[in-house]
Amino acid sequence: MLVTFEGLDFCGKTTQVQILESWLSASVSGAKVTVVREPGGTRISELIRDLLLDPYHAEIDAVAELFLFSAARSQLVRQNILPALKRGDIVICDRFADSTVAYQGYGRGIDLDTIDKINTLATAGVVPDTTFLLDISPEESYRRRGSYGAMVKSDDRMEQSGIAFYARVREGYLAIARAYPERVFLIDGTKPVDVIAGEIQTILKQRGVGKNI
């Protein structure tokens, strides 16, 4: 089973990934939970991540960005995700192919059909069983980033794209949720952390997960 988390920066994905990992390990008998992130998760993918997020590389254009994210994903899928799924692990991924649709498709304006083909190749056809989209506004994302203060030294290359870019990304995510309601669950990311975690657990229980399967 592959569970993915999506949303704007600072929407709370990483916190919910950690909570879900603990909950699944405790509530699913014999469960082996594998947690990965995008871009990253392998040596090659982490090197690509550093390249993508470094503000020094501001000249990376939209198409190059698309291929770099996809290269990192391809390595992660083939090196980590597919082997884990074959072992029967529950895999939790912090971002996956939906991010490319939202960020490079809606955000950067690259043709969505082209992105779909590239995503299919990069993922080896792997599609998440369940996706949790933690929805916050671009303004809330920027507010949360500011609240971190000195913990965040500077905007990474993606974060420097501006609030209008993130507004387009959010619209992309909402469009994905409308297009795939059987897979994508839209959750209000402004709710308290424990409330969001409870909603996620309830949804998974309804889908047969968390009942000592």
| CATH number where 163 lies | 3.40.50.300
pTM of the entire structure?
Answer: 0.92
Closest CA to 197 of 111, 119, 132, 139: 132
Q: What is the dihedral of CA 118, 3, 79, 172, to 10 degrees?
A: 20
In a domain, 133, yes or no: yes
- Note the pLDDT tens digit of each residue in 55-108: 888 899 999 999 999 999 999 999 999 999 999 999 999 999 999 999 999 999
Indicate whether 211 belongs to any domain: no
Is residue 194 a contact partner of residue 13, using CB atoms and an 8 Å limit?
Answer: no
CA–CA gap between residue 65 and residue 88 (Å, rounded): 32
* Range of the structural domain that residue 186 is part of: 2-206
**Segment 28-58, tens digit of pLDDT:** 888 899 999 999 999 999 999 999 988 888 8
The answer to whether residue 124 is domain-embedded is yes
The owner of tokens 């990253």 is: 40
In a domain, 129, yes or no: yes
Strand partners, 184: 131
Number of independent structural domains in the chain? 1
- Residue 4, classed as helix, strand or coil, is strand
168: in domain: yes
pLDDT recorded at residue 150: 42
Task: Establish if 213 belongs to a structural domain.
Answer: no
Does some domain include residue 212?
no
Handedness of CA 56, 61, 64, 66 (dihedral sign): positive
